Structure formats: C-alpha cells, structure tokens
Chain A
Amino acid sequence: MFYGTDLTSRLMLGTAQYPSPAVLAEAIAASGTQVITVSLRREGPGGAGFRDLVAASGCRVLPNTAGCHSVSEAVTTARMAREVFATDWIKLEVIGHADTLQPDPFATVEAARILCDEGFEVFPYTTDDLIVGEKLIEAGCRVLMPWGAPIGSGQGLSDVGALRRMRAHFDGVPLVIDAGLGAPSEAARAMELGFDAVLLNTAVARAGDPVAMARAFGQAVAAGRAAHGAGLMEPRDMAAPSTPVFGLAVL
C-alpha cells in the first residue's frame, strides 16, 4: 500500500526522454504501469498534448521535484505540482551533487518534514542510508525510495547488501527502488529482494524499442514479485543433488 493506494502493477514509469509522445503512450500501456512520474517546467508549446496524454493513460501521476537543489525550491515546486496535478503525492528529489545526482539527505529530510506537515504524501528519493531513512519516516514519510544506482546510469543495484539491510530494517514500510536500473533482470532482482516497487525511466525511454522494453520490465517486475511471494531458496556453497540418490542402480 502506497499511502492507502494498492497497486497491482509494481512498476512506476517515468515519462521523459522518449522518441515521441506516441511511443511514450504505447510504452505506458505495454508496461502495465499504474503510476507515471511527471514534472513541472516553464510553460511552453506542447504542454496541452502532454496533459491529454497523461489523462488518456488512466494512470495515477506522481509529480516530481527533479532538478531542485534546495529545500525552498523543492517545497515551492511541490506546492505548484499539487495544484496543477490535483494530487497530494509528490516524488521529493533534492539533489545534492550535480555529477552523481545524489540526493542531499539533510535538505531532503527538511523538505519532507515541511511537506508532510502540509498534508503531502511524500515519496522521498533517498540513498540506502538507514539513518536517513529513519529521519524521513520521523518526518512523516510512509514510503521510501532508495536509489539502486545513480539516476540514468543503468548500473542496476550497485550495493545489494545495503539494500538487503534496508529491506530488513524497514519491515512493513513500502520501499521503492528508484533510479539506476538498466535491465529488466535488475528490476526482477529488486522485487525478489522484497522491494515493493521499482521506478525507472531511462532504461525504457532509451532502449532500442522502448515499447518492447517497457513490456519486458513489466513482466520482470511481476516475475520478481511472484518469486518473492513464493519464497526463494537459500543459496548454498556446495552442490546438492536434485535427483534422488535413493534407488540409484549399482552398476
């Protein structure tokens, strides 16, 4: 449950960087996603077409504060997004570093506190740091979105151990792997680890065939979630015969 909303698809899809609006619309449909991320930018030509596309998708929108580097920028952007998109959901991004697009944890926590107090339902983009996660929960967040790897890098889950610890530590808190995924296998892995959803954009938008890749990610997320629900076997160091030894003929 994400702020009281249950999602059957656990893939959240970004809407930027597609070759065309038509490809974006097809990719959204092919992925099976129910949540798409959107942004606010200075008013310009083409805005109406995008609004129509979003409405036609039937998806819930998750507006972001992408590009914000300070608490005040992020908070103001969130307030504007709430009015335009008519949703309390906000993907809170406060970027601390231009090259890595690493979140600024201090500013993120401060902005989260302000926004939660104003009734926003905050999806904070964060790292796998447990203490930062705790501070965000204290601030009122009921979802955390740790990065898998830097935004747009396609590196997948760069610290699986840290993500496992995060999953174990925040038992019962919806956790979304946000950013860094490059391949459907990585999305499946995230879901197998017990994460509740994945959010991605570039890996689909920049694929050779974004529509086919959107479908592949949708299937991978569903498979990973089913696998987690089924209970994965524990890995072991030594081999164990899968064919019964009992009854083996002595030859």
Chain B
Amino acid sequence: MQILLNGAPVETAARTLADLVEERALDATSVATALDAEFVPRALRPATSLTEGARVEIVAPMQGG
C-alpha cells in the first residue's frame, strides 16, 4: 500500500506503525511518530494500523535554537 511518509509517497508492506519503523531500519527508541498529525507513543505503535494514504511523520533529534 502507499502511504505518505514525511511528506513523500512511499510503498510499504508494513501493516502497523511499529512494522514501518522496523522496515525503515530505524532505531525505535530514537524516533518519535505521528499518524495523521496525532502523536503515537512508542508503546502504541504495534497496535496502530496503517491504511492506504495514511500520513505518517517520523522525526528524530536535530539541531535547534
């Protein structure tokens, strides 16, 4: 299915947010996730299903002022 990951269309086999983080080879503890602009805590990622067209944001620590 196709989702929108960080603003870009992405084809994924992941069924849940946790699967997606794993599929992208990300360290699950050093990123934060949001689905359709709502924060999804780490513990809820396995239970959060992805659907066609879902808008997912995965963010990580960056420099800031």
Contacts of A81 in B (CB 8 A): 32
A interface, size bucket: 35 or more
Contacts of A38 in B (CB 8 A): 61-64
B interface, size bucket: 20 to 34
B32 near A47 with CB under 8 A, answer no
A47 near B37 with CB under 8 A, answer no
B59 near A80 with CB under 8 A, answer yes
CA distance A72 to B34 in the complex (A): 12
CA distance A201 to B60 in the complex (A): 20
Any B CB within 8 A of the CB of A44: yes
Mark out the residues of chain A between 59 and 88 whose CB falls within 8 Å of any chain B CB in the assembled complex: 63-64, 66, 72-73, 76, 79-81, 83-85
Please give the distance in Å from A109's CB to the nearest CB on chain B: 21
B65 near A40 with CB under 8 A, answer no
Contacts of B32 in A (CB 8 A): 40, 79-81, 83-84
Chain B interface (Cβ < 8 Å from any Cβ of A): 6-7, 24, 26-27, 30-34, 37-39, 41-42, 57-65
